[in-house]
């Protein structure tokens, strides 16, 4: 999503967010992430306002004290930044790619089924299956911290069955242009 993204040319403006909109974002996070109100309060206290950083192609980044915390494409799911996910790894469900797939992800590629279904990959068991369109943390074989965040394009059970083509769309990853932006 952030390929070739450059803060100096791709940001059209920074505006405060209306309180009604802030409430909507807050409730969307509480309902779609695995997070309790207290932890969200620690990340983003109710009495503090986030700033909406408008970017090209309808990407919105939300910052608090200049630090990017969340982002969104059109009115799609609200994602945590990868740095926020590293601090609170439980907020998204996790899938895992095998070691061979890491360098492809880091080059901006979407993740194919085999990278997740192979021995080094990891998908949730059937009773915790994830549907298509779920934001997921992408772990990597042998690594402690998530390497990226993605969006499932098909359900995790389908990934196991079909085992080819794109399974997880790449959203952000370690070293991409969003990662490079630590302050906005």
Partner 1 sequence: MASTAPEDPSTSEKVATPPVEMFYCGVCTFPPEYCEFGTSFSKCKEWLHTERLDLFEKYYSDEALQAKLGTLSVEAQSKLEKDTAKKEAKAEAKADAARKKKMSSPVIIKRIERNKRKYVTSIRGLEAFDIDLKKASKFFATKFATGASVTKNAAGIDEIVVQGDVSQEVYDMIAEANEGGGEGGGGGKGGKKGLDVLKGVVVDNIEMVEEKKKKADAE
Contacting partner 1 (CB under 8 A), which of 38, 48, 57, 127?
A: 38
Least CB distance from residue 133 to partner 1, whole Å? 26
Give me the least distance between CB of 166 and partner 1, in Å please. Answer: 21
Q: What are phi and psi of 108, to 5 degrees?
A: 100, 5
Q: Is the dihedral of CA 68, 73, 74, 76 positive or negative?
A: negative
By CB under 8 A, tell whether 145 contacts partner 1: yes
Give the separation between CA 111 and CA 133, rounded to whole angstroms. Answer: 14
Minimum gap (Å) between residue 57 Cβ and partner 1: 22
> Does residue number 175 form part of the binding site for partner 1 (CB under 8 A)?
yes
Instruction: Give me the numbers of helices (H) and strands (E) for the chain, helices first please.
Output: 8, 10
**What residues from 59 to 98 belong to the interface with partner 1 (CB under 8 A)?**
83, 86-90, 98
CB 166 within 8 A of CB 153: yes
104: three-class secondary structure by DSSP: helix
Query: Which chain residues interact with partner 1 by CB under 8 A?
Result: 36-39, 41-42, 83, 86-90, 98-100, 102-103, 106, 118-120, 141-145, 147, 174-175, 179-180
């Amino acid at each position: 999503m952030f390929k070739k993204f450059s803060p100096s040319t791709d940001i059209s403006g920074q505006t405060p967010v209306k309180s009604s909109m802030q409430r909507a974002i807050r409730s969307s996070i509480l309902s779609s992430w695995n997070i309790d109100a207290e932890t969200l309060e620690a990340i983003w206290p109710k009495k503090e306002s986030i700033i909406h950083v408008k970017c090209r192609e309808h990407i919105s980044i939300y910052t608090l004290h200049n630090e990017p915390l969340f982002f969104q494409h059109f009115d799609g799911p609200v994602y945590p930044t990868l740095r926020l996910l590293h601090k609170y790894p439980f907020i998204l469900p996790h899938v895992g790619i095998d070691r061979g797939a890491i360098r492809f992800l880091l080059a901006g590629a979407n993740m194919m089924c085999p990278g997740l279904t192979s021995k080094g990959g990891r998908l949730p068991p059937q009773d915790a299956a994830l549907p298509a369109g779920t934001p997921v943390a992408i772990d990597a074989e042998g690594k402690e911290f998530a390497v990226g965040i993605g969006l499932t394009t098909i359900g995790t059970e389908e990934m196991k069955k079909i085992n080819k083509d794109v399974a997880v769309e790449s959203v952000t990853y370690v070293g991409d242009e969003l990662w490079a932006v630590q302050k906005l």
